[in-house]
Amino acid sequence: MSIFVDENTRVCVQGMTGRDGAFHTRSMVEYGTKVVAGVTPGKGGQEMDGIPVFNTPKEAVDATGANASILFVPAKFAAGAVIEAAEAGVKVVVCVSEGIPTLEVSKIYQRLGELGTRMIGPNCPGIISPGKCKLGIMPGRIHEQGGIGVVSRSGTLTYEVVDQLGRHGFGQSTVIGIGGDPIIGTSFIDALDAYEKDPETEAVILIGEIGGTDEEQAADFIKANMSKPVVSFIAGRTAPPGKRMGHAGAIIAGGKGTAQEKMDAMAAAGVPVADRPSELPGLIRAALGR
């Protein structure tokens, strides 16, 4: 199985006819994702590669039964686009857009909770259930079907870890880049809970980074609720306090959010922590007793 998206996911691409939207739509279709509709205001009635384009998400959902959406729209329009998709009945929205103001994201989060829609992101690479559905910008060719769940705040580190897993014979159930902004739609805990309930996920890799307390909260959840093995890697050990390191949420402030605090929390929860990403396959192998 997989979590959040699978072979039955029907995808609507908001901003499909733009440069980035068209490129990644074709990549998702080539991977095997069921892209059934695109949305670009003012271009309703057109087609791209045989995929119908609609003016609004509601029109797209009503006509095609789309139940997931991915956005390739500028940050200033992204909040409205997410809400439009959710109000149309879409249940999973991937928001790749970077630079959405935190206050706007908090409003999105509240509204999505009312509508029962899950957002992945913003500022994320998306989600992939290998061999079933790619809803994002990640390189599909390095992912392989298997039993390892991967959840990460970092996109590029995710790709590195997935490649390492493949080289050591470990496929993945679902890989999620949750995003590096201070407020995100899907947390580590959301993903961990779903992996725990997925019968085909055998173990989980959690890739964290400095800033915030999400990793510490995840460690508490793992200790209290996870029966499946979890291993981790925390990025940013040498980051200086007070400087943002890449992601908007990757900042140590007031002595909080350091890599050491997160590593200590994981260790206290019984989660092995790798010194470098290349060690993760070995930790997985040991955790599974193989």
pLDDT in tens, 134-148: 999 999 999 999 999
Across all residues in the chain, what is the average pLDDT? 93
Question: 174 falls in which pLDDT band (50, 70, 90)?
Answer: very high
Kindly give the interhelix angle for 155-167 and 280-288, rounded to the nearest 10 degrees.
60
Same CATH fold assignment for domains 10-120 and 138-288: yes
24 given a catalytic annotation: no
Does residue 68 carry a pLDDT above 70? yes
State mean pLDDT over 269-273: 98
Query: pLDDT category, 128, cuts 50, 70, 90?
Result: very high
pLDDT value for 255: 46
The pair of structure tokens assigned to 53 is 């384009």
| Residue range 181-209, pLDDT digits in tens | 889 999 999 999 999 999 999 999 999 99
Cα–Cα–Cα angle for 139, 214, 121, nearest 5°?
Answer: 40
Instruction: State percent of the chain over pLDDT 70.
Output: 93
Domains in the chain: boundaries: 10-120, 138-288
- Better-scored residue on pLDDT, 250 or 241: 241
The one catalytic residue in 24, 143, 168, 247 is 247
pLDDT at position 250? 45
Is pLDDT above 80 for 172?
Answer: yes
The arithmetic mean of pLDDT across residues 219-228, rounded, is 98
Question: Does the structure show a pLDDT above 70 at 274?
Answer: yes
Q: Is 134 exposed, middle or buried (0-12, 13-18, 19+ CB in 10 A)?
A: buried
pLDDT tens column, 31-56? 999 999 999 999 999 999 999 999 99
| Per-residue pLDDT band at 237 (split at 50, 70, 90) | confident
DSSP state of 199: T
d(CA 17, CA 47): 9
138-288 CATH choice from 3.40.50.261, 3.90.1150.10, 3.20.20.190, 3.30.420.40: 3.40.50.261
Superfamily of domain covering 10-120: NAD(P)-binding Rossmann-like Domain (3.40.50.720)
pLDDT at residue 15 tops 90: yes
Q: Across-strand partners of 118?
A: 92
Amino acid at 53: V
Q: Where does the pLDDT of residue 254 fall: very low under 50, low under 70, confident under 90, or very high at 90 and above? A: very low
Predicted local distance difference test score (pLDDT) of residue 242: 55
pLDDT at 119 over 80: yes
Give the E-state strand segments of 145-202 in sequence order.
Answer: 145-152, 172-177
